[in-house]
Chain A
Amino acid sequence: MEFLVASAIGVLTAAGMYLVLRLRTFPVIMGMSLLTYAVNVFLFASGRLTVGAPPILGDGATYTDPLPQALVLTAIVISFGMTAVIVMIALGAYLGADDDRVDDPKPQDETPTKIEDAP
Chain B
Amino acid sequence: MYRLLFLQFLRSKAVRAGLLLTLLLGGISIGIGHQFLDQKNAAIDEVERYQKQHIERNVELHKDDLGLLMYYLKFAFVNSPASLAGLSVGQSDINPIIQRITIKNLEGQRYDTDLVNPMNLQSGNLDLSFVLIYLFPLLVIVFTFNLLSEETETGTWRLVAVQAPSKRKYLLTKLSVRAVLVYAVLGILLIAAKIVLSIPLDVNFMMVVLLSIVYIAFWFGVCFFVTAFNKGSHFNALLLLSTWLGLLMLLPAGINAYITNRYPIPEALTTMISQRDGYHTKWDMDKTETLKKFYGHYPQFETFGYPTEGFNWTWYYAMQQMGDDDARKDTEALWQKIRKRESVSKRVSAFLPNMHLQLAFNGLAGTGLGEQLDFLEATNAFHEELRLFFYPMVFKEVSGNRVDWTKFTPKYWSQNTEGENPIRYLWPLLSAAFIVMLGCAVVFKRWY
A and B associate: no
Which residues of A are in contact with B by a Cβ distance under 8 Å?
none
Which residues of B are in contact with A by a Cβ distance under 8 Å?
none
